[in-house]
Amino acid sequence: MMRRFRPTFLIAAAAATVVGTPARAQSSAGGSDVPCAVPMSWTVAGIDRRFDLSTESAARALRDAGRLWERAVGSDLFRFDADAGSPLFFEYDERQAGVEERREREQEVERERRDIEAGRTRLDEASRRYESAGARYERGLAEYDRAVQAYNDDVRRWSREREVPPSVQSDLDRRRDELDRTLRALDDGRRDLRRLADSIQKDVDAFNERVDALADQNAALARDFPGSTAESGTYDEIVSRSNGRLVSVSRRIRIFRFSSHDDLVMVLAHELGHALGLGHARDDGAVMSAIIAPSASVIPSGTVTPMDVRMLSARCPRLGGRVQHRIDPRDRIREVQLRGTM
């Protein structure tokens, strides 16, 4: 079976450093330093125009990612506001450029695969026509052989007679002429079959060459785009505290690469999990795994995995009560804002 290669997106720990004093910079590896702060507001703040992505599509993916978590716990965890909330940025660089190049190559391979499959269908139809024509030829040849045998038997029988009646001779002459015409028709049919067989064989040879070329394309695709540990996204935050009390937290998600809506939903769900306070899971199938395959089963199931739920329950045992971390307005420490750059 011809196989379509698909990319594997790897979610690595965020390595971004955000400067803020007296705030604390937090990477996504271990999850938010201010976990379980729900409902958490997010907004699409900026999309590099080199992404083939509208603000509406990005917002829909963000909502879909949030719902994966919300369906699992039965609580509202996120708010998505076009005008307010922590920012989501789409930053275009060589990572997404590589994804798009691979996607174009995959599409070329897929178009060739479909064309080859259409050629296989045409070859199957031609083979059926050949088999049907061959069967008709064999039936005609068998009928001819029987007719020849009957004619020869009658000729031998009348040859033993002293005289052949004119009517019998006329009938034998007619049958011989008919046998001659049948033989010529059979010869024509045999030549037609030979031409059809040669044509089909030529098409089969060309088909096999295309199959071999497609295998080479697939091999080149795998060679040119091996698995990579490049980040697909990061979650960053700055936390400000005064005398041990929380003053402010500024959050940000940055997306660097994705291949489809489902891939983007997976990456966003992973980063939202970090925002909820979750680190990386050891289960490769979990949303919070450091390695997320684009075919992960959570998309059709519409919810995160049991491993993700266990991690969230352990991190936020009172999530059902919507425990929120509030900022004390009496503290006069300036909130440090994160600014996304495109």
Residue pLDDT, tens place only, 22-68: 333 333 457 999 999 999 999 999 999 999 999 999 999 999 999 99
Q: DSSP class of residue 289? A: B
**Which tens digits make up the pLDDT trace of 231-278?**
899 999 999 999 889 899 999 999 999 988 999 999 999 999 999 999
Give the pLDDT score at 294: 52
- The residue type of 248 is S
Q: For the ranges 146-155, 158-167, 204-213, which has the lowest average pLDDT?
A: 158-167
Scanning the chain, the segments in alpha helix (DSSP H) are: 55-73, 94-159, 166-224, 261-276, 298-301, 306-315
- Cα–Cα distance list, 92 to 14, 135, 232 (Å): 16, 63, 11
- The residue type of 79 is R
Alpha-carbon span 270 to 88, nearest angstrom: 13
Q: DSSP class of residue 13? A: P
Alpha-carbon span 36 to 50, nearest angstrom: 34
**Which tens digits make up the pLDDT trace of 102-124?**
889 999 999 999 999 999 999 99
- Please, are residues 33 and 26 in contact by the beta-carbon 8 Å criterion? yes
Q: What is the pTM of this model?
A: 0.65
